Amino acid sequence: MAIPSGGGTEVLKRNSIPAQTTTWTEIDWASEQTSAGNTSGTTATPTNQIITVLNMIFCNGNASERGVYMKVSASGRTDVPFLDATPVPGKGTFAFNDRLVLHPGDKLMFYSSGADVQIWINYILQDWT
């Protein structure tokens, strides 16, 4: 993507997965909520857009501990894991506060070792379309 020189927008947004399960889910950036197991094919960061993930909150609605996994499928490259079986205690939360920058073609994906993990994502969308 070329460095933009014209006008564009920068908007603070959010997305969520209400009940992540043991199936990989790709975030659908065109929605405010993504269904668990989503692989719709429209999940990559769109052309002429940059997404800066500010933070993510994982909430375990189950009494048993769950492991959460997160990776980015970088456009044209191999997957980059960021969380690998990170424990979320039963009825507890885990906050991921590191920033991630996603370029066009990148996909953000999640997996959980069990049902009932809710994921909340806060991000900035920069759009030059």
Q: What is the pLDDT of residues 58-80, one digit of tens each?
A: 999 999 999 999 999 987 778 99
Q: What does the pLDDT read at residue 5? A: 61
Contact 65, 85 (CB under 8 A): no
pTM for the whole thing? 0.90
Name the token pair of 80. Answer: 């980059």
CA 25 vs CA 4, 12, 121: distances in Å:
30, 22, 13
Whole-number Å distance between alpha carbons of 90 and 1:
42
Domains delineated in the chain: 13-127 (2.60.120)
Contact 116, 62 (CB under 8 A): yes
Query: How confident is residue 16, by pLDDT bands cut at 50, 70 and 90?
Result: very high
Nearest partner of 123 among 106, 94, 99, judged by Cα: 99
Residues 6+ apart with CB under 8 A from 71: 79, 80, 81, 82, 83, 109
Contact 101, 49 (CB under 8 A): no
Q: What does the pLDDT read at residue 39? A: 87
